Structures are given as C-alpha cells and as structure tokens.
Amino acid sequence: MAKYAVLLIVLISVVSSAYGQKGTHQLKVVFYNVENLFDTLDDKHKNDNEFLPGSEKMWNTEKYLHKLQNLGKVLCAIEPDDPPAIIGFAEVENRQVLEDLVRLSCLSTVPYQVILEEGPDPRGIDVALIFRPDQLEYLSHQVFSASREFRTRDILYVKLLGPAGDTLHLFVNHWKSRAGGEQQTRPKRIENATLLRQVVDSLLATPYHPRILIMGDLNDEPGDESIALALEALPVAKKPAEEELYNLFYIPWAEGQGTLWYRNWDLFDQIIVSGNLLAGKRKNRPVILDPYGYIFREEWMLERSGKGKAIPLRTYKRDYQGGFSDHLPVYTILSY
C-alpha cells in the first residue's frame, strides 16, 4: 500500500508541474516586432525594393533563411520546453514569410496557425498573429483601419477560445512611427489609439464581460497621451476594475526598462489587458497572476553600443549584422 501511495504522489507532482504553479495550465502570449521580415521576391504592389537581391542591402535567400532561424531561436528560447501559445508580430511582409518562419525554424515542433491580412501600409509591412490550435480554438478574425486620415497598418482583431471555454479578444497593433518627429506625428498615434478605444468600448458595452488583450508596437511610452489618455490604459491597480484597461508595462517603463534603443531605452512594445484578466479569482479564468509584463532579453541577442551599452543586435544597421531585430519581444502569462 505504501508504494502505491508514493506512486500516486509522484504522479500528482508530475501533473502539477506540467500545469504550472498551483496546478494551473500556463499559456505564454508574446509580441515581437521582427524588423523588416521580407522575402526575396518583388511584389509589384508594395515598396519592397529595399529587400530584394539587387538592392543596396543585397537581400538574398541565405540572409532570409538566417533571419528566420534567428527569430525562431528567440521565440523558442522564451520557453524551450513549451513554445508560446500566441505570438503577435509587427513588420512582416506577407503570410508566406510567417509560414516559412513556422516551417523552417525551431517553431516547427508545434502546429502553429497563421493569421494575416494584407493592409494598406506603403511598404507592405503588416501585423499578424500565430497561435497553437492544440491549445486554443480559432473563432474569427477581422481587421479595421487605425486611421481615417492616412495610410498605415491595420489593427488585427482575433477571437480565440481558451481551454476553460473562455473567449479571448486579441488586438495586434503597430501604430504610426515617430519618423518626422515625435511631436509632428503624435496626433496620428492619438488617432490610432482613439479608433482602437472605440472598438474596445463597443465590446465592453456587451453583457459578456469580454477578456481583452491588446499587444503591439505603439511607438509611444506607457505614459504618453495616446496610451494613457486616448486609449485610457492605466497603471495596474491593487484592485483592478473589471472593465478598465491596464498596461502591464507601465512599471517596467517607470523603472527605465526598454525594448528598443535610440540614444536611450524606449518601451514602445506593450501588452494591455482588461481588468477581468487581473482579478486573480480562480473561477474567473484565465488570469494573469503576475501583473507585470516581461521583456525577453539574452546576451546573445545583444551587441555593445559605442558607449558600451548592451543593445539589440539588428539584422542591418548601415551594413549587414546578421542579428535579430531592433526590438526585444515582450510577453505575459495566462494561467488557467
């Protein structure tokens, strides 16, 4: 009898460890701006000339495949034994480059499904999302414009069914860049935020208590007007209100952390969630037990700047570097 009791304890321990702390199953949600993930083919409908074999960059198949391997290495390293359940992307050219990433990198060990819709960005870079259908069920997706005044990346809205029968409302963003000046481009990011907030408000007006997760390269800091005022994404509260939005990266930003380097660290890559994902009630699953977002960085993803700072190792600066991206990925963990 004693040996059966020991065996039972061992089995319980194995099952518990497989489902994370305190018997919960954990799903990682990642966002990564992969910086110009272009194929080598000329698309006549896009300004992709910078990344063609005959361009100044001399982009070619060898460099493209190396980029895919590097990005896969980063994403697999976030959790080596269990690749992320959901990954949102910015700066991908088309669906094929993501299918190549999934097929030709270490991500091939799990059956990712790709969601991407071609948008109006002049360079042809889009936002996208991949997810694991062995852990989540696809419900629907659509895109909507992030601006009525100028051409920019669409916002991708994806609905997935989670393991507890919950619906996750996911929004993948890449707001207007600061090229041309922060103040000059600020109104465009405020418009991006305002249009997203309108969609969020329409969801919150329903009686279904939607679980909302917003991710993206917002090209603004958590305390800037577009995010703090137009989107109304708040610092995480001790007692989160169910239908408010909370920015998981407000405190990391206040502590001086960042996801990209330009003279100093900026924290433009963020994850923002509705308060019901932070409630911490086991019956209200999923929940985010740690209310702070994570920035993934390893020494092999970095190089030393002229001032000795460890900064992201890019694919290109002026010359080919063979690196990863000018951004670091961010993630959070959903617990069931």
Cα separation, 46 vs 152, whole angstroms: 13
Q: Give a yes or no: residue 172 inside a domain.
A: yes
What are the CA-CA distances from residue 124 to residues 92, 164, 177, 266 (Å)? 8, 37, 15, 25
Whether the model pTM is above 0.85: yes
pLDDT band at 308 (very low <50, low <70, confident <90, very high): confident
Q: Give a yes or no: residue 8 inside a domain.
A: no
Domains in the chain: how many in total? 1
Please give the distance of CA 230 from its chain centroid, rounded to a whole number: 21
Q: Give a yes or no: residue 71 inside a domain.
A: yes
pLDDT band at 10 (very low <50, low <70, confident <90, very high): very low
Q: Give a yes or no: residue 110 inside a domain.
A: yes
Using the predicted structure, report yes or no on whether residue 17 has a pLDDT greater than 90. no
Residues contacting 275, CB < 8 A, separation 6+: 237, 240, 241, 242, 243, 244, 245, 246
Using the predicted structure, report yes or no on whether residue 16 has a pLDDT greater than 70. no
Q: Calculate Rg over the CA atoms of the chain.
A: 20
Where in the chain does DSSP place strands (E)?
Answer: 26-37, 86-92, 113-115, 126-131, 137-144, 155-161, 167-174, 211-217, 233-235, 245-247, 260-262, 264-266, 269-274, 294-295, 302-304, 310-312, 330-335
Q: Give a yes or no: residue 190 inside a domain.
A: yes
Using the predicted structure, report yes or no on whether residue 206 has a pLDDT greater than 60. yes
Domain of residue 90 covers: 19-335
pLDDT of residue 280: 63
The percentage of residues in the chain with a pLDDT greater than 90, rounded to a whole number, is 82
Average pLDDT (155-173) is 96
Q: Give a yes or no: residue 194 inside a domain.
A: yes
Q: Give a yes or no: residue 259 inside a domain.
A: yes
Cα separation, 211 vs 171, whole angstroms: 11
pLDDT tens-digit series, residues 279-296: 765 566 899 988 899 999
Q: Give a yes or no: residue 145 inside a domain.
A: yes
CATH of the domain at 203: 3.60.10.10
Average pLDDT (308-327) is 95
